[in-house]
């Protein structure tokens, strides 16, 4: 756009809501400027991508941590649907998932095949 490139981390579509969902992933704490970036993405999606029958795009910012006070002040004047959530990392994969996913050794074997080719 105007000579610049802008990338949303994830762009999803919710069929029931009939709306695009822009997801921005952050490895650190929430910063107020993240709201401005998300509003930019939502404005572009709503003006350039959204179809007439769809609802306005929704923004979700997922951060490692957040201050409730900072989030409230950052979003207080926003008229756009933006939410801020946190994530946590688990050092161990839950048992229920271990059966369903390949081990790191299995993945290494698969990658070796591609490297040899």
- Taking a C-beta distance cutoff of 8 angstroms, is the pair 44, 69 a contact? no
Pairing, β 10-14 against β 19-25: antiparallel
Report which secondary-structure segment, H or E, holds 21: strand 19-25
Position 117 scores a pLDDT of 62
Q: What is the pLDDT of residues 49-83, one digit of tens each?
A: 999 999 999 999 999 999 999 999 999 999 999 99
- pLDDT at 103 > cutoff 90: no
Domain assignments of the chain as residue spans, ordered by start: 10-90
pTM for this prediction: 0.78
CB-based burial label for 61 (10 Å; 0-12, 13-18, 19+): buried
Helix, coil or strand: residue 87: coil
Q: What is the pLDDT of residues 3-18, one digit of tens each?
A: 889 999 999 999 999 9
Can you tell me the distance from the alpha carbon of 7 to that of 30, in angstroms, rounded to the nearest whole number? 18
- pLDDT at 92 > cutoff 70: yes
């Amino acid at each position: 756009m105007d000579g610049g490139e802008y990338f949303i981390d994830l762009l999803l579509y919710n069929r029931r809501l009939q709306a695009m969902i822009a997801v921005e992933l952050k490895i650190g704490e929430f910063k107020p400027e993240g709201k401005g970036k998300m509003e930019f993405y939502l404005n572009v999606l709503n003006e350039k991508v959204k179809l007439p029958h769809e609802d306005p795009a929704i923004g979700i910012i997922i951060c490692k941590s957040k201050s409730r006070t900072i989030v409230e002040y950052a979003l207080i004047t926003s008229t756009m649907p933006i939410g801020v959530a946190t994530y946590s990392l688990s050092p161990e994969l839950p048992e229920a998932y271990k059966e369903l996913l390949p081990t790191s050794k299995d993945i290494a074997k698969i990658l070796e095949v591609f490297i040899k080719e």
